[in-house]
Each structure stands twice: as structure tokens, then as C-alpha cells.
Chains A and B, each alone.
Chain A
Amino acid sequence: MEPLYDMIVIGGGPGGYSAALYAARAGLQVLLLEQLSPGGQMGLTDTIDNYPGFPQGVSGFELAQKMKEGAERFHAVTKLTKVVRVRLSQEEKEVVTAQGVYRGKTVVLACGARPRTLELPKEDRLTGRGVSYCATCDGMFYRRKTVAVVGGGNTAAADALYLKNLCEKVYLIHRRDSLRASRVYWEPLRKAENLEMIWDSQVTALFGEEKLSGIAIKNKKTGKEASLSCDGLFVAIGTLPNTELVREQLKLDEAGYIPADETTRTEIPGVFAVGDLRRKPLRQVVTAASDGAVAAHFAEEYLATR
């Protein structure tokens, strides 16, 4: 028989594991459920340079393993399984997974976010056949080829700079006339000889059947459409919160995020929202970790008043 946990954490990224570490270290019995392996989006990141304490940077995968070990040192338990349903409103909360039902007095939602897709016809079919959401994973397959990156944030800028070293030609397509990406990227992008900016434009179609052969681009200002031959398209247009699991039980904002404040408390007592799925101004490993610590603190307070 599974125990009644003090805390069930859903999601094994930096937010989830910080909550687990703080709660377990405070003596709570903690179960963390992760559908893939520890790390979340962080685990997919090649090098993280902006998490303090790692002067040479650290691989996201390695950092995830360390966070997991840190929480396990205080007896937090990790189970790798997908959560299919939750019941949050009652005192004893229920989390239904592919491997069984778990019960907890508190639940920390740390399900993170996933890359936003273009939502174009054929995108699904061409994923892994020219369309990619991870430049550091798939860049090697496009050595000396022509690729396009779509997006204007930090991920798009970093992807374009990574790809310019491998590819013959890189186009960076952005729907506005200036990048949202941090200034550190601007100069290297401007200097790259094989990189061309395509401003004010959106990708409107994908060409190719078995493999991507090109894309259609529409200039939003002139309304002109053009086609562009390319072997690869790297999509970096932001993320979507993984909040489908709770959308019937918690109010979400218009973009799908959970509107919890800095206490991470949601509208349901004993339920907390941490990391990328919470409405907040900056989504980083360090802010997710911070949310986790705060959630553990308020979870403890909640349990003490029961």
C-alpha cells in the first residue's frame, strides 16, 4: 500500500527538485513523479552558464542528476511515470499515473513548459525530417546545408549562432523588426557572414513530402509571400505551459499559465505552482529553483495548520 505522502511533486525539473529537496530536508515524506527523466527543459540544454556556482558552466543533464541526488539524499523518492489525472480539491489529493494512484496532503505542480510549434500543416510529419526544435541536437545533420531559424528570442539567437558554424547558410526569420533576444547576441549575429536576417516575416507553409525542401514566408508589412529553399527549419518561437492536467480544476490565465503569486500558492489550499508553468516575468533555472524552495516553505506552513 502506498503511503499518504506529505508532498507529491509533479515534474522533475529544477522547480520540482528544489521543492523536493527543501521539503525532504525539512522532514516531509516526498514523492516526485517525472514522465521522462530528471531535468525537464533544463535536461535538454547543452550548457547552462547562468546558474550560479558553476564558473565553467554545467550540462543541463548533469545538473539535473545532481539536483535529483540532492533531493534523494534526504529521502525524496522519484518515480518515472506519466501523470494522467489529478484530483486536487479534497484534503487528500490524488494523483493518477500509468503505474498507479498516489495520495498526498500537498501537491506541487512543476510540469514546466514545452516548445511552441508553428501549427502548420505537415509540421508533425516533417518533424525529424527537416523540422527541428533543438539546434544543438540536430545541427550536425545540416552540416554545409542551408537552414532557417524562426524566432526572435534568446533561444532563436543562440540557435542561429550555433548553426552558422556548421551550415553553409543560415536565415533568421522574425516576425518583428528587431530581436527580443538579449543584447549579448546582437553583435555576433550582425558579424556572421553566412547569416541573413529576414525581418517582419512569418513562416506560412512547409514544403516537401518525405523531407523538408523549403518554406513559404510572408512579410507582414508588405504582405508579400516568397518561398525559400532550405534543408532544415529550426523552430524557436517560445514555449507553452504544460497545464492541461489541471485546466479543469484551476483557473489559468489567457496564455495557459497558473496565476499563482510569489508564494506559489494556487487558489486550491495545499496546491502550489512552481517554475515555468507559473505566471511570472522571468523563466530561468534559477527562478524555477527559487519557486521550489518557496513552495516547500508554504507547504510546510499549510501542513502545520492542518
Chain B
Amino acid sequence: MAVLTITKDNFQKEVLESAQPVLLDFWASWCGPCKMFSPIVDEFAEEREGEVKVGKVNIDEEPELANQFGIMSIPTALVFKNGQAVESAVGVQPKERLWDMTK
């Protein structure tokens, strides 16, 4: 499963109603560290295929979602379990940390 693009329109279905844990990467095109984080998130998505759903939220296109979760720094990784945001990490994270967050 490829990394999903999450928007306010599919957020309910793909994230809140997801049976699997979901990891979201909040990013923007002008953010250097986001570029560094993106391939790590992609690799993580590949490794956890079928176990963890991974999505990216472009905060310029989805300001409502960024606002709703109080994102004030990017990249931010946010983990959802059973429709609840349970853990977040600000800044570029090593892949191992993403594993820990979704255990």
C-alpha cells in the first residue's frame, strides 16, 4: 500500500475509522527537514505494509487539519490508534523511533 495523501475529505474514513494504527506526516514543500523526513516515512511505510497505515498531510493544502491538531512545527509525526491521536514527535525522526511510536 502506497503512502496516502490525507485531506480533510478522507481524514474521517482513512484515519479516524482505520482498523490499523495510522502514522501521519505533516509537511510542507518549503520545509527543508520535511524533505529529509519524507524518504524515512516512505521506507517505514514499506516495512510496515499491512500493519500500519501511513499518510502525509500537506499543511498548506490542509490548514484545517494542521490547526485541529495544533501543529506548530514541521515535520510532525502523529500516531492515531482507534481514532485517537495518541503520540506525536516533532522534527525529523529516525525510522526506529517510528517503529516505537506505532508499537
A43, B72: Cβ atoms under 8 Å? Answer: no
B24-81 contacts to A, CB under 8 A, are: 28, 30-37, 39-40, 43, 70-74, 76
* Min CB–CB distance B88 → chain A (angstroms): 8
Instruction: Name A40's closest neighbour in chain B (CB-CB).
Output: B36
Contacts A44-B32, A59-B32, A82-B94 hold; do A138 and B40 have CB atoms under 8 A apart? Answer: no
Q: Interface residue tally of chain B, by bracket? A: 20 to 34
Instruction: Name A34's closest neighbour in chain B (CB-CB).
Output: B94
A60 CB within 8 Å of chain B: yes
Q: A80 is contacted by which of B71, B90, B95 (Cβ under 8 Å)?
A: B95
Contacts A82-B96, A132-B73, A138-B72 hold; do A37 and B39 have CB atoms under 8 A apart? Answer: yes
Stretch of A123-131, A242-250, A257-265 on the interface side: A123-131
A98 CB within 8 Å of chain B: yes
Bound CA span A37–B40, Å = 7
Q: A127 is contacted by which of B37, B90, B93, B95 (Cβ under 8 Å)?
A: B90
B92 CB within 8 Å of chain A: yes
Residues of B within 8 A of A59 (CB): 32, 35
* Min CB–CB distance B15 → chain A (angstroms): 20
User: What's the tally of chain A residues with a CB closer than 8 Å to chain B?
Assistant: 31
Instruction: Name B38's closest neighbour in chain A (CB-CB).
Output: A37
Bound CA span A103–B34, Å = 32
A130, B72: Cβ atoms under 8 Å? Answer: yes
A49-64 contacts to B, CB under 8 A, are: 59-61, 64
* Min CB–CB distance A239 → chain B (angstroms): 15
B96, A43: Cβ atoms under 8 Å? Answer: no
A36, B40: Cβ atoms under 8 Å? Answer: yes
A134 CB within 8 Å of chain B: yes
* Min CB–CB distance B102 → chain A (angstroms): 15
Cβ contacts A to B, 28 pairs, < 8 Å: A36-B37, A36-B40, A36-B92, A36-B93, A37-B37, A43-B33, A43-B36, A44-B32, A44-B92, A45-B32, A61-B32, A61-B35, A61-B36, A64-B36, A80-B40, A81-B95, A81-B96, A82-B94, A127-B90, A127-B91, A129-B70, A130-B72, A132-B72, A134-B91, A136-B31, A136-B32, A137-B73, A138-B73
